Each structure stands twice: as C-alpha cells, then as structure tokens.
Structure 1
Amino acid sequence: MIDVLIIGSGPAGSTYARTIGDALPTASILMVEVGPRVPGERGYHTMNMTDAARTEAQLLTQGPDAGIERAAALADIAPGIDPSLEFRQTILPGLFFVDPRPKLQAGEVGLPAASMVSGVGGMGIHWATSTPRPHQSERIPFISADDLDAALTHAEQLLKVTKLQDATGLLGAMRKAMADEFDGPGLTPVGYLPTATHWEGDRVLFSGTGVILGELERTVPGFELRSETLARRVLVENGAAVGAELQDRRTGETYEVRATRVVVCADGLRTPQVLFASGIRPKALGHYLNEHFQMASFVQLSDEFDPAAYPADEQSLGSVLIPFSDARPMQGGVTPLANSAYKLPFGDDVTRSRLGILAWYAAKDLQYSDAVEFSDTETDFYGMPKMAIRYGRTERDLATIEELRQNSLRSAARIGTLHEEPALAAGGSSLHYQGAVRMGETDDGASVCDPYLRVWGVDHLYVGGNGVIPTATAANPTLTTVALAWRAATELARGLERIGS
C-alpha cells in the first residue's frame, strides 16, 4: 500500500507530486507514465538540448509513431483533410495524432490536428512556456480572487516564470504600438507575455517538467517515477478509489497497486479516457471539450520596427501580449524573431531579423455537445477505449473567428506587412484541450470534479490537467493548470496528514 498513486508525469502530475512531497517528505508516492524515459536529465525541456539530443527525445515521445520522421508518419493522411505542408506542420515533432483519420458527422468541424505526447515529463518537455494569467471571465468564478491569485503566484514560482515589467528598444516600441491600437476602457492593458524561462549567465533556459519536480527523488525517499507503465483502470471499492491496475508495456505484465489516494493527470483527453475505462462515467465526462481558436501569421517588419535601428537588449527577449478581455474575447501576441531564444527550423539570420510572428487565440463558445467520446468495443494503440471527437462551431464562434481575423490584420498593419492572409489553424493544433473533466461548484451534472479536483461520487480520487478548467479561455492554460493542481494537492496532503496524526 502506498500513499499516493499519480497517473501521468506532465506539469499537473508533477505539481501534485512536488506539493505532496514538500508537505509530507515521508510519503510514498508512485508516479506512472505510459511513455519512455528521455535520455538526459529527467524532465529537461527539449529547447535546452543540443539539436541531436532534441531530435532523439522527440522521436521517443511520439507514441505509435515513435522513431518515425514526421513526413513518413503523415504519408497516408485522411481523405478530406488538407495534406499540404501547412497542415502537416500542425503535428509537431515529439507528438502524435489522436486520430489521423477522424470520421466527422454532419455539421461537425472536429479537431483533426488534436495531438498528444507519451514520455516522461509529458508535454512539459516540449511546450512553448507561455504563462499568462487568466483575465476577467477566463478566471474561475467560484474560487475567490485572493485564493486563485495566491495559487497562480505559487505556480509562477514552481515554473520559474519571468515577467517582463518594461522593455526598451524594439520590444518596447512594439508594446507601445499595440497599446495605441488595442487599449481602451474595460480592456486588459497591453503588456508583455510572461514565460517559464530564466537566464543562467548568457543563456535562456526553458522550464521543463523537471523544474517542477525539483529534487524530489532526494528529498522524498518514497517517491518513484515508473516509465512505460500504462494505467488501465482505477480500482474502485465501496465508492472509493483504492489503487489502479497497471501494465508494464515492456513485458505486458499486468498488476495492481493499492493506494490511499489516486490522482489521474494523463492529459486533457486521456484523463477522461482512464475514468471511462474505470467505469467512472459522470454525465459531464468528456463533454464541454474546448480549445481556443488560433491564427498565426508571419509579418515583414516595417522600417519603424527594423531591429537594426534599436540597441540590442537580449535581456528583453520576449513577446508583446494583448490580453483577453470580455469585450474582446481573445489574446494576441507579437514576437520579433530577431535574437529569439526559440530554435525555429527556418530562415537564415538575415531573413529572420526582419520577421515577426503574430499569434492570436480566441475563446470557444462552450457547448455540452462538444465532446470526446469513448468506445466500449474498439481500442487505441495502447489498448484503451478508442476516442472520437465531436466538435462544432456556433454562430457566436463564427463571429469570434471573424473578429480574430480582423484583429490579426489590425496588429499586422501597425508593424509591417503580412506574408499571407491570416488563416484559422487546423482544429486541435493549439494542443490546449480543456473542459473534459471540468470542475464545478456543485455536483449538478455539469462537472466532473469539485473545486479541489476531487471526482464527484468517488472518494479519494483526484484529477488534474488542462481538462479541469471550466471556463472559455484564450490564454495558454498551463499556469492555471499548475495553480489548480497545487491547490488540490495541498488539500490532498492535509487529508493524508490527518490520517497519519
């Protein structure tokens, strides 16, 4: 019998482990991950690696496509899905499609580019590290403002978030231009995008999942991270979670682990999959699925924003942020590529120096009918219930998408010339899948878990990840996800402490 079993090694699962371990250093904590270990430091971000090491890590975490170059993996693409290079780039190295041949029903648009990752550290070793706070209706209304802000502050500390307060040079000029264009009454002011990055000497380091776990193996002797281990189902007895049935994917051996508390943080789609496979099927499970709409464009910077005209200030690397507001339910980002810390696979230094990226994200109109469904008869690559995504757009969504396009054009016109017209990214390509195990204030059938992420109707069972977020958002959800996991893990640790006292 162990104290806590955590299913999933991404940012949410790692936050649970770290928080419980810090509070109870004598606790026994088993974290299981379906994917393999990645060579090198545990949970290290791939952007910090050499090119060769990053490629090796990416090929390992591609699940059914492990070891396959992306071009080969996409050679046989589904009818009706654009097979162009633009679409193929929506599946990033290190990831694999949920379903490369989705079958859409009448009136659906689906999420054809929905992708996931399988490897120690989860998406936390690949993510872009954007960590904006939620604003206005993005925030969770039934968590007090002070409580949520305290959790977000702790999440920023766990992720080593850098928040640029002011910038001179090119980035400062871009912020002023965007503020002149987009600031107004009732709108969240334009600023800079916080990122989970920090400087070590003259090098920018990206925060991977290992930053969250810290020195857990040293400080908590009872912590174990077990890779290539599939959680087939949560064990439930007398209305309470008591452990899980696990499978060693190297040997095929299936065995049970008993635990006082069970936490499922598989990801936004696989967490509800594990619950479904366990016979835990509340009405809202898999429903209210949403990801934000996305448009990204390259812009040729005008002479006013020629990087050569500004003094180099490498400590001000980053992006301008046009935050979400209820009156403008979207978030914009403007990033000059000059001296970018991101290792992007295109263009020489001269070409890149006059390029910028515009990235706009908009909130989805939440609908019960938008859902990930699971089969009782068909299985996926891992032998788990096969997924099917039901996803449409409302009239409100169509209006939001048009506003997204207009704001992309406005921001581009202010700083330069677009290389191409803004186009809506393939559904699923943002990788931010929310709502499928959403939290709620009461057990009214519209949520899966309570404000402390405890699954309704099953004692001692917790969830975590982007899927718990119940609001429509445009902001990158990782900071909120880590904040909510920390808040839930703190409550879980208190409960364990009461048992031991």
Structure 2
Amino acid sequence: MSVVVVGLGPAGTIATWALARAGHAVTAIDAGTSGSESRAPLAAATPTVRSTVYEEAVRAPGPQAGRDGIGGSKLLAAPQSYRLDPWTLRMRTRVEVRHGAGVLPPGTDVRDWPLDPADLHEWYERVEHLLRVGPRPPTEWTRRMAAAARTLGLQPFAAPAAASRDTGVLLGQAVATGRVTTMPGTTVLEVLTDRSGVAGVRVHHEGRIRTVTARAVVLAGSVLANVRLLLLSGLGGPAVGRYFMSHNFLRVRGHFPGVNLDRGSAGPATATAVAEYDADGIDCTREGFVGGSILQAAMTGPAPSPDPEWGAVWAQPEQLPHRDNAIDLDPVAVDVLGRPVARLTFALHDDDHRRARRLQGVMRDWLVAAGAAITAAEEFAAHPLGTHLYGGARMGTDPQTSVVDGYGRVHGVPGLVVTGTATFPTCGGRGPVQTVEALAWRSATALAAGLR
C-alpha cells in the first residue's frame, strides 16, 4: 500500500519527492488539473463567512484566493523565500520573559512551536540549497529605497528568492523513480481509518467515488481544504478549526513626480526589505499589540507599471491566534455533492488595527525619505480568503489545544500527517513558503523513517 499525498502545491510536492526518494510508493492526488489557474470546485468549494458567532454566515464572493494543480498557489506568487524570525517560534516565552504575561491581548491563545528552532534551521538550509535561494540584482527602485532606509537608521537587505517558483521539476524527479502515481483532477472526500490508524482515502475521480488504500496520508492542501477535510472525516480532536489567522496585507503608495521608477523592469521577487519592525522590533508594552512585519519595497512585475512615478511599500502584518477566529462546517450550505462547505468566523481585533496604523506610519516615512511628494495608504481590511491563511490544525503537545505534534502527526491517528500553514501556531510577519517547504520535508522524512 502506498502513502497518499493530498495536494501538490509546495508542501505536497516536497513531501512526494522526499517520500519517493526514501523508497516509498506514493499516490499523489490533486484536485486541480494540468494548466489549471483556479480553485477546484469540490476541494475548494466557496465557503461562507461571518464576523462573529452571532451572525448568519453568507456565501463568500468566491473561494480562497489561489490555485489548485501541480505547483499550487506558489505559481501565482513571487518566489520570495523567507525564514521565520526565531522569535516567532517562541513568541509566548519571549514576550512573557521580556514584558510579562499580561501583555498578550485577552482572547488570544499564543503558544510556542513544539520544535527546536535549531532543528528547523537545518531544514531551512536544505530548502535554500535545493531551490537555490538568494537575492535578486538591484534596480533603480530598490536602490533608491535602500538608500532612503539607511537615512532612517535602518538596515535594508535584498529580499531572498528562490531561483524559480516552479517546483514541478521535483515532482518530475519523484515520478522518474517509478514509485509515484499521480491522480490529477481528483478530490479526496474523506480520510478513512481503522483500529490501527489510517486506512486510506475516499475520493471523487472521473465522476466516480472510489477508495484508495494507504498506510499513511499526508494532507498538503491549503488551510481551508485541510481543515475542512479533517472536519468532514471527524478527525483531529476539539482544536480542529480553532485559532484561524490571516496576513491582512497592508500597502502604502508614494508619488515621485517627474521620476521614472521603472518598477516594471524586474519581477515582484526583486525587493528591498527592512526587518526592524518585525517580530519584537516594536515595544508592545507601549503600542498595545505584539508582533509586526517585514516591510518591502518591491517591483510590480514583468509588465510596465501603469504609472512609473508611483512606488509602493507593503507589509504582511502578524496576526495573533484569537479564539473567536475559527473554521467549522456550515450547517446549511453544501457543495455540489451535498457536503457542508467551510464556514469562516473571522474579524480584525483592536491589536490588529493598532499594529496596522503603526506599520503604515513607518511605511509612509520610508516613502517620504525616498522622495515621495504624496503618500496614500490603502484601507486596512480583513482578508479571511487571502493567499496567506494560517491555523486550524496547529501543532502542539496538548491534544485539547492542538491538532498535530511538531512533525505534523495528528494526535491519536497513526499515519495521518498535516503539512502547510494550517499547522502554524503563530504566523509571523513574513511570507510562509520556505517554512512550509522546510516543515513538509522534515515531516515526510520522519514519516518515511517510521514506515520502514
């Protein structure tokens, strides 16, 4: 019997590749099809949303932003590749040691990650070597913003990026071993278990429902897909769906009259960044929030900017795990097969707004220091269906407050592993993809060793 990997985005691709290299047969399942640029209608059925438990949830305008199919949503994004700040992995301990237990906002449940940061460092090193992570050459725009950052006493750096955002080559290497069977256009409906643990999955494939047996299953889809599948399967315990988080993106634009910033001359992975306002860089005892964000002045992409005199700085602000931000199954709304869709209960809190205002102020100052005559901050809004979602199957040691252990293994269900940002106890203020890939490789390696 093979290991089933569900989802072939960055986590599933790495997991499939690592398992095949370790000598295991893998059935790699993805709901998307070759060349797909959208979400699969069954695996990513449009959820319902509400701000509080006292409201009736309504259908969202569409599914979570992103893409199903080989490569997943990584193919839609810049291939930036950040490590999380070690502070993020030990946020609760670091905050309480430095500031005291009362600093964390009421209604939050911040937990340290149940792994050694030094161990994760090793897997970061492996990913960076495998995917050839490094800085992109500077441009007129990034040089201008780096110089301005130095005048503010900051230490700018070139954003790290992988050589390519396409991890399909890894899947090709895995398939070449002869140990991998791919099933595109297939939706996993349920994880099956017996007395010993995982028994396989029930799938919808080519209009039929069938069973794929397996010794182990790796859930490597998006947050909503992973959490919904756990809920539909009745697995994961009382913490499934809890502590849902999002990067509620910030952007501030600046106008540089008479200056052609040439921001279309390179891809969006090319950026100047500063880290002084990420992690514990802001004094939370005075500001009323914990955590911050990397700030980036990035290029617009390969197409010319609509207005070459406008530049922008953006941020991915930390959000803490609030108890009332959660994912469950809608009691009324269903997909085309009659299965409940995910229901999101999500709202911004006071600490989110304070953090956003503080970061927007710094972003304006940076643009002005670079010569911007006018700045304009976009409205700060909740993004429960953005590309950077977190939580719902977080890692920890207590099955009452977490779903998986430090290797992504679901408590009490031998053979079931979850990878991806659903397992993050905290989200940090940086892009998640390198951490997703490092954890997926680490989890797949541990699973492979346990199956021998």
TM-score (norm 1): 0.75
Question: Residue 393 of structure 1: SS of its match in structure 2?
Answer: coil
Where does 1:261-300 land on structure 2 (aligned, <5 Å)? 261-300=216-255
Query: Is 1:152 aligned with 2:152?
Result: no
Alpha carbons of 1:109 and 1:159: their partners in 2 closer, same or farther (altered >3 Å)?
farther
For residue 322 of structure 1, report the CA deviation from its aligned partner. 1.8
Structure 2 residue runs of 5 or longer lacking an equivalent are 91-112, 283-291
Distance 1:128 1:21, change over 3 A: same
Aligned to 1:190: 156
Query: Which amino acid counterpart does residue 207 of structure 1 have in structure 2?
Result: R
Q: Partner of 2:378: helix, strand, or coil?
A: coil
CA deviations 1:119-176 (Å, max 9, x no partner) are 3332122222221211143236432232111111222234332235x85865334223
| Paired residue total | 415
Within 2, Cα distance between the matches of 1:306 and 1:108?
48
Please say if 1:404 is aligned against 2:359: yes
**Partner Cα distance (2:85, 2:50) in 1:** 36
Distance between the aligned counterparts of 1:317 and 1:34, measured in 2? 28
CA distance in 1, matches of 2:394, 2:45: 23
Matched, 1:231 2:188: yes
Hey, what does 2:16 align to over in structure 1? 17
The equivalent of 1:215 in structure 2 is 173
Residue 445 of structure 1 is matched in structure 2 by 400
Residue 421 of structure 2 corresponds to residue 421 of structure 1: no
User: Shift of residue 475 of structure 1?
Assistant: 0.6
Alpha-carbon shift at residue 384 of structure 1 (Å): 3.8
Corresponding residue for residue 98 of structure 2 = none
Give the SS at the match of 2:422.
helix
Q: Deviations over 1:400-451 (max 9, x none)?
A: 12212212222222221446333214523641111111111x1241111000
**Aligned equivalent of 1:80:** none
Contact 1:193 1:318 in 2 (8 A): yes
Render the CA deviation track for 1:216-263: whole Å, top value 9, x for unaligned. 221x20201111111111111015011111111x3x211111111111
Choose from 273, 276, 296 the match for 1:321: 273
CA 292–471 in structure 1, closer or farther in 2 if over 3 Å, else same: same
**Kept after mapping to 2: 8 A contact 1:268/1:434:** yes
> Which of 54, 60, 63 is 2:40 aligned to?
63
Return the TM-score normalized by structure 2: 0.82
Q: Report the counterpart of residue 35 of structure 1 in structure 2.
A: 32
**What residue in structure 1 maps to residue 149 of structure 2?**
178
Pairs within 5 Å for 1:17-416: 17-24=16-23, 27-38=24-35, 57-58=36-37, 61-64=38-41, 98-99=46-47, 102-105=49-52, 114-139=64-89, 141-164=113-136, 167=138, 170-181=141-152, 183=154, 189-196=155-162, 198=163, 206-218=164-176, 220-248=177-205, 250=206, 252-301=207-256, 307=261, 318-323=270-275, 324-328=278-282, 329-337=292-300, 342-344=301-303, 347=306, 351-352=307-308, 354-375=309-330, 378-381=333-336, 383-415=338-370, 416=372
In 2, Cα distance between equivalents of 1:407 and 1:438: 32
Percent of aligned pairs sharing the same letter? 23
2:46 maps to a residue whose letter is V
Distance 2:257 2:130 in 1: 38
The aligned amino acid for 2:157 is G
Q: CA deviation at 1:306?
A: 5.3
The 2-side partners of 1:149 and 1:382 are apart by: 43
Give the distance between the partners of 1:402 and 1:109, measured in 2 at CA. 30
Tell me how far apart the structure 2 counterparts of residues 321 and 381 of structure 1 sit (CA, whole Å).
44
Contact 1:15–1:485 (Cα < 8 Å) also in 2:
yes
Matching residue's letter, 2:5: I
The one-letter code sitting in structure 2 at the alignment partner of 1:193 is A
Q: Any idea what the Cα deviations from partners look like across 1:58-100, whole Å, max 9, x if unmatched? A: 3xx24349xxxxxxxxxxxxxxxxxxxxxxxxxxxxx98834x
Work out the CA distance in 2 between the residues paired with 1:109 and 1:412: 42
- Structure 1: state its 5+ residue gaps: 39-56, 66-94, 184-188, 199-205
Q: Secondary structure in 2 aligned to 1:207?
A: coil
Aligned counterpart, 1:436? 392
Change (3 A) 1:96 1:8: closer
Offset, 1:273: 0.8
Question: How far, CA to CA, are the matches of 1:369 and 1:97 in structure 2?
Answer: 23
Task: Provide the C-alpha distance between the structure 1 equivalents of 2:8 and 2:187, rounded to a whole number of angstroms.
Answer: 12
Q: 1:283 to 1:418 in 2, by over 3 A?
A: farther
Residue 379 of structure 1: CA displacement?
2.0
* Whole-angstrom CA distance in 1 between matches of 2:414 and 2:425: 21
Kindly tell me: are residues 235 and 116 of structure 1, through their superposed partners in 2, closer, same or farther at Cα, counting changes over 3 Å?
same
In structure 2, what is the Cα distance between the partners aligned to 1:408 and 1:222?
50
Matched AA of 1:143: L
Change (3 A) 1:317 1:368: closer
- Distance in structure 2 (CA, Å) of the matches to 1:102 and 1:168: 41
* Residues 235 and 278 in structure 1, CA contact (< 8 A), matched pair in contact too: yes
Q: Distance in 2 between matches of 1:327 and 1:377?
A: 44
> What is the distance in 2 between the residues matched to 1:168 and 1:107?
50
Q: Secondary structure at the match of 2:391?
A: coil
AA matched with 1:161: V
